[in-house]
Chains A and B, each alone.
Chain A
C-alpha cells in the first residue's frame, strides 16, 4: 500500500487500527522522496540515512492533539534544535539552532516525527517563487518547468508530491497561501497572534505567522489544534482558549453571507482563474450560501504598503547577521576593522533579493524619508484594515482568488522584482489586517495547473474558514487529484 499518499487523519486511523505502523509510514515516505525528489527538489540537505528525528513523546497526548507517528516537514526558517536551519541563505550557512521553536516542541509533544531535512524556501522568505534559495529552485509537481510559488514553495511542493504528509510554512504576505494555490493543496495563514512565533526566524514581525500546508481541510484543522495557543515567549501571542478546530468541520454553509470584493476581479487577472473562482462561488451558493459584491477600496495600495512595512521591519530584523553570532563571516583575512567585517560579511552573505529589501527598508526608515514613506504606509495600513472592518459588519467572510494567475515558469519573473511583488496582490491584505485566510484547491486550468480559492474571515474566526472550506471540499473532488510524477 502506498502510505505516503494518505493524509494525517487517514494515517492516524490506520495506525490506531493497527493496519500500519509508524515505521511503515516512514519507509513509504522515504521511498517516495528517493524516487521523486530529484525532479521536485522540495527539500534541502536530504540525507536518506538520517531522515527523521526519533520521536520524543513522553505521555500520550489527548485525542484532539494526537499526531503519534506522523512525519512533519518543516520550512528552513523554523528553528529545530541541532538540525540545520539556514533560511536557505549563505549568511546562515551551517547554523544549527540551540533550541526548538515553540511549534516544534508542540509537534514533538503530539508525537510527530520531525524531518531532519528542511523544506526549501526563498532566502529569508523574500520571494514568491522559491527561486531565491541558495540551494536552487524547487519545481512545481504539476508542471516541473513552473515555480511552486513561495516563499514556502518547498513545503507546498513536498505535500503536493506526497513527499510529505503535511508541512509547516510561514506567511508574511502570502507565503503559505500562494504556494498552496500553485501546488493544489490547502494552506492556512492563521490570525496574527494565534500561533507562537518563538523560534520562527523573523522577517517582518508585525506580519509573520506560522501555519499548516496540508492535503485536505481536516488535516489543516488537526495541525492547528496542535500548533495554536498562547506562548509567553512570544510577546505578541494572544491568550485565549484554543478550540478543537475539527469540531468546525461541518458540511453546511446555509445562510452564510459571502462578500466578493470587486477590486479582486480586475483587468490583469487570468480569465481562466476568474471563471474557475466564479464557478466555485456558484457552488457555495448552490449549497445555501449567499453572496454579494462588496468593495475594499484601498486594495490597490496593499502591495506598496506591504513593501514599505515588510522591508522596514526586515532591515531591522536582519541587522543581527553581521558575522559575529552565526556561521558566515568575511573580511577578516586582511586585518580590517569591525565595520569592514560587517560590510563584507553582509555584502557576500546575503543574496540579491535580500540585499534589495534591506536597502529599501533602510531607505524608508532613514532620516528625511521616514514620514514620507514609513509613517504614511502605517496610516494607509489603517485604511486597509478599516475596509475589512466595514465589510465584516454585514458579511461573514470574503472570497477571492488566491492568486491573479496560475503558477508561472521558472525564470519568468526573476529579472523583474516588481512583477514578482505583484503576484502577491491578493494575499498581502490579510497580513496587513492581521486576519485569517485559507487557500483551498478549486479547479485546474486547461494546461492542468491548480487554482486556489481564498476565504478570509474576521480575526480568530478560523472555525468559520474551516466550515466553509470543508463544505466546499466535501462537495467537490479537486483536493483528491494528484500530480503525475
Chain B
C-alpha cells in the first residue's frame, strides 16, 4: 500500500510524536520500504489458523487481597520532571 505523507502525519498524531519536516520525509520513505517488505506475509495461507499472541498456555493468577509493602510516594516521584505535593506536575489541562 502507498505510505503517503498524510498517513505518516495521521500516525505521528496517534503516537504523539512531533517530527521535523525533514524527518517526516525521510521516515515516510523508510516506512514505505518496510511496509512493502512486511507485505510478503500476504503470500502465507492463514485460513483456519489461530493467532498466537502468547507462546505459553497462561491462565489468570489470583492472590489473596492482602496488604503488602509498596513504594513510598517520595520514592515513586523522585524521577518526575515536575511534582507538586504527592502529584506529578503537568501543563494545565482544564481551562
Contact = CB atoms under 8 A, between A and B. Distances in A.
A381 B54 CA distance: 10
B67 interface: no
A344 interface: yes
A307 B79 contact: no
B86 interface: no
A307 B23 CA distance: 21
A236 interface: yes
Interface SS majority for chain B: loop
B10 to A, nearest CB: 8
Interface in B1-57: 7-8, 10-12, 14-20, 23, 27, 30-31, 33-35, 37-38, 40-42, 44, 46, 49-56
Contacts of B65: none
Given A235-B61, A301-B40, A434-B55, A358 B17 contact: yes
A101 to B, nearest CB: 15
A322 interface: yes
Contact of A418 (B14, B33, B51): B33
Contacts of B61: 232, 235
Contact of A337 (B71, B88, B91): B91
B56 A193 contact: yes
A18 B46 CA distance: 62
Interface residues of B, number: 50
Contacts, number: 165
B24 to A, nearest CB: 10
A343 B16 contact: yes
Interface in A88-125: 94-96, 98-99
Contact of A366 (B14, B52, B53, B88): B14
A339 interface: yes
Contacts of B46: 376, 379-380, 383
A342 B44 CA distance: 39
A355 B44 contact: no
Contacts of B80: 324-326
Contact of A338 (B38, B52, B54, B91): B91
B85 interface: no
Contact of B81 (A193, A300, A323, A432): A323
A419 to B, nearest CB: 10
Given A338-B90, A362-B15, A382-B52, A307 B82 contact: no
Contacts of A22: none
